[in-house]
Structure 1
């Protein structure tokens, strides 16, 4: 099935409506215009790297700036196994991409510089596109052809090195079906069956969460 950003938009609308109906808050819900080829080329020049095909496609055909954030009501307590979930967030900005990745590069320079260390290696040869807010990042793996989305933890988090999507489009498809829960790894780790296959949007936990939250049509 071809990728459709309209499907993602419809899911976002449904997520927002459900969160608000449950007493929560949608803090941001902005989808900018598609980027121009010249803007992508300039970002690549500043980064010194080509953007993976899936990410480039989303920037050029869908949105160069995206920001979606929601929070449950502060008194809400979800039942097990969803008790750690309290918000969802996803964002990217072509204009800020070099600035965001500079943060990752600084971590590599100062802390995760050893290419022979398995933990450090996860931080290397990546392109960070989103700051989690606690020192962690969501990033694209530049060592793979289609740029899988990988979680980078600075403090031995459960999700360090987990692949959240086989490429950026796959990540959007999977993440949108569970409300873009997170981005902290302790919130979404229950939806990751293994470290390498991507978020499991078809599993029992995901289906139960959609039913609980009312995300399904």
Structure 2
């Protein structure tokens, strides 16, 4: 399913979660951005918006917010016991702020590109803040990469091969996270990308319907 189809299914997903007692936030899907607006933001960024993200921003939504929280008295079984929320958001207008945040981390904490941990933070375009200081970004190859500021296990981990690929992998799971500990159980054994077709993923989606 393409990005537009995945986004179109989010209202039904939220309705299903709400029916199971989850706290859901209103879904925000704003109109696609114009190429002219993309160009304005790129000037502020000082770099191009990666192609897959650009396509979604101009063809699907210039801003999206999808959020849910599990009931406070609900404890998922292992390996899902760290999951308490689902979150996916992006905004063209937020990209410069996120870039400033990344550059701040690079300047003050990760300035040395010769250091393997520091290097992960360099040459990335962040598109989503996790809420704890971490970011999700696109690298020079367009891959979705997790950036941890405090030694998180997911640091430098490639979640998907493009922004659209991330949507295709993460949305079917209801976007657990976005902290790395929450989506970590869904990594494929073969390449480490989020895998919505694995036995673990099928167990998770069945569990969401049974809560």
Please report the TM-score for the alignment, with normalisation by the length of structure 2.
0.95
Equivalents in 2 of 1:187, 1:56: separation in Å? Answer: 27
Aligned equivalent of 2:188: 193
Q: What root-mean-square deviation, in Å, do the aligned CA atoms of Structure 1 and Structure 2 show?
A: 1.6
1:48 aligns with one of 43, 46, 55: 46
Aligned equivalent of 1:211: 206
Secondary structure of the corresponding residue to residue 26 of structure 2: strand
Aligned pair count reads 210
After TM superposition, the structure 1 = structure 2 runs for residues 1-217 of structure 1, keeping only pairs within 5 Å, are: 3-10=2-9, 12-141=10-139, 143-144=140-141, 147-193=142-188, 197-214=192-209
Instruction: Extract unaligned runs of 5+ from structure 2.
Output: none
Equivalents in 1 of 2:195, 2:118: separation in Å? Answer: 26
- Kindly tell me: are residues 199 and 57 of structure 1, through their superposed partners in 2, closer, same or farther at Cα, counting changes over 3 Å? same
Instruction: Extract unaligned runs of 5+ from structure 1.
Output: none
Tell me if the contact between 2:20 and 2:209 (Cα under 8 Å) persists in the aligned partners.
no
- Per-residue deviation, 1:4: 4.2
Please report the TM-score for the alignment, with normalisation by the length of structure 1.
0.92
Provide, for residues 103-128 of structure 1, a one-character-per-residue CA deviation record: whole Å limited to 9, x for no partner.
01100011101111110000000011
